[in-house]
Amino acid sequence: MNESTDKENMTNDDEVASSEEPMDSSVEEPSIDEAPAEEAPAEEAVAEEAPMEEAVAEEAPAEEVVNVSLVEKSPAEIVSDFENKQIRTDIPSFRPGDTVVVSVKVKEGDRTRVQAFEGIVMGVKKGGLNSSFIVRKISSGIGVERTFQTHSPMIDSIKVKRKGDVRQAKLFYLRERSGKSARIKERLD
């Protein structure tokens, strides 16, 4: 800091000295009384600029630290950050045994429409961005199961219609049952 102040003082002295040298014979030379008056404001200006430079110098390292931390991310951290941005937050909580309505975007030609699939959740696989769930419904007396990726952009919405009370994580036993034996009690929460 002192070296830069000395350099600035030297440049200011050079400017003052150059202004004292006559360029033309018609230009009047400044008197001795005026020369110190010019130096004093220059020194004050240097003194006023120094705190500003210190403030700028204090702010600069904080910005550099932020840049360094962004560069030093491992590949695993980069992938996890990307996955966290892709995870949807509008998914309601549901468990196996719950009856849900899944609205799926279906693309037919150049048109896109929303199709509802209502059924009982048979199982949930939790795995962050790779989580999925299986929904089973009976359509015209035939059991239909469909697996959905929980965070897929093709899912428009998920609504829980009814909460079921079951004691197992996977309800594959429903495949062999039909009628009243395939019913699930309602959970009263």
Q: Could you write out the three-class secondary structure of 41-107? A: HHHHHHHHHHHHHHHHHHHHHHHHHHHHHHHCCCHHHHHHHHHHHHCCCCCCCCCCCCEEEEEEEEE
| Predicted model pTM | 0.60
Distance CA 30, CA 172 (A): 103
Q: Domain residues of the chain, as ranges?
A: 2-71, 99-178
Determine the pLDDT at residue 21: 52
Q: Does 68 score more than 50 pLDDT?
A: no
Mean pLDDT of the chain: 78
Most confident of 53-62, 68-77, 160-169: 160-169
CATH code for the domain defined by 99-178: 2.30.30.790
Confidence at residue 13, expressed as pLDDT on a 0 to 100 scale = 52
